[in-house]
Amino acid sequence: QVQLQQWGAGLLKPSETLSLTCAVYGGSFSGYYWSWIRQPPGKGLEWIGEINHSGSTNYNPSLKSRVTISVDTSKNQFSLKLSSVTAADTAVYYCARGLAVAGPDLYYYYMDVWGKGTTVTVSS
């Protein structure tokens, strides 16, 4: 059974860089989109971006200028960096495994395995 274990710094000052890593245990690394999602306190889910095993990335346009997602296939890990953080970046950050495939009529896209989440607080 695939499990995602994530870690990273939980308290940052404004202008610092958020850095989180997610390790994949128990499954293949290829064929999936490895994703980051965040949830500000009391608010909904926001898709941050994703990377596949070959390093191809897609980013939320609203965060694209500050986000870098990278992959280390030798360790089955992927990472998120978000630069120049502000209080608005305070959130629980989740990593997840995504899959996008063509169905007989519509495309399928879903995230079936999630990490437990890391609370990141930005405060001076």
Partner 1 sequence: SSELTQDPAVSVALGQTVRITCQGDSLRSYYASWYQQKPGQAPVLVIYGKNNRPSGIPDRFSGSSSGNTASLTITGAQAEDEADYYCNSRDSSGNHLGVFGGGTKLTVL
* Contacts to partner 1 by CB under 8 A: 35, 37, 44-47, 50, 58-61, 94, 98, 100, 103, 105-112, 114-117
Measured from the CB of residue 74, what is the shortest distance to partner 1 in angstroms? 26
Q: Residue 6 or 79: which CB sits closer to partner 1? A: 6
Measured from the CB of residue 87, what is the shortest distance to partner 1 in angstroms? 21
Burial class, 30, CB count within 10 angstroms (exposed 0-12 / middle 13-18 / buried 19+): exposed
Distance, in Å, from the CA atom of 18 to the CA atom of 25, rounded to the nearest integer, reads: 23
Strands 46-51 and 107-114: unpaired
CB contact at 8 A, 50 and 113: no
Q: Residue 57 or 76: which CB sits closer to partner 1? A: 57
Measured from the CB of residue 98, what is the shortest distance to partner 1 in angstroms? 7
Distance, in Å, from the CA atom of 116 to the CA atom of 103, rounded to the nearest integer, reads: 29
Q: Residue 45 or 87: which CB sits closer to partner 1? A: 45
Measured from the CB of residue 18, what is the shortest distance to partner 1 in angstroms? 18
